[in-house]
Structure 1
Amino acid sequence: MPAPLREREARVALLLSLVGLADHAAQRPGELSGGQQQRVALARALANRPALLLADEPTGQLDAETGLEVMELLRAVVRSEGVTALVAAHDNTLLTLADRVLELDDGVVREAG
């Protein structure tokens, strides 16, 4: 059963605030930048309070600076929400933000390094 409307609205307001988009709540997706759209996607992914967040190349369509900002935000938000995030990425500069890094090489998963 869905949460009551007031609770859902409060959750949306909280998440938009967490991702820095509280002032953009009335905008349509086409009116947002790529980085803002990624932030909305993060807020939507967290809306139902998941225990695990899977993100496949969440910064793949962003420039390096915006991608780093989105990943820093992802890290901060999942920590504040108590969520585990599993992020697949090819950008090695993002590895510094990870608590743990695994590599997939020819079907074998192992610790990086």
Structure 2
Amino acid sequence: MSTAAAILDLARAWLWIGAAVAALFLSIGIGRIDPDARGAFVFRVLLVPGLLLIWPLVLWRWWRLEKGDRWLPRYRPPSAHASAAAAMSALIMAALVLSYGARQDWPDNIAPRRITEAGS
């Protein structure tokens, strides 16, 4: 399996899981954790794209709100958020540095060819 196919399969699985979470959350969860969202069915449709992408955060917040946590901790991101952000920043910087360092030289034995115009 190629890398591109693996990335596409991973993205497809992520979106399918997100669709399942969106269906559960919008049918069961949102009315339980937010009394103002009860009966607001057009509003729920607007949440679907975001739920498809950030479904792990939605599950975490839903679980915290169902536990009945106080007001302040429920808006705090997971404790691993800061370390994950730092790791992602370091990986992006490492990818940039490595990509600038991996220089490719043009082979000397290949002569350039002129592209002819269409119809010539």
> What TM-score do the two structures reach when normalised by structure 1?
0.27
Structure number with higher helix proportion: 2
- TM-score normalised by structure 2 residue count: 0.26
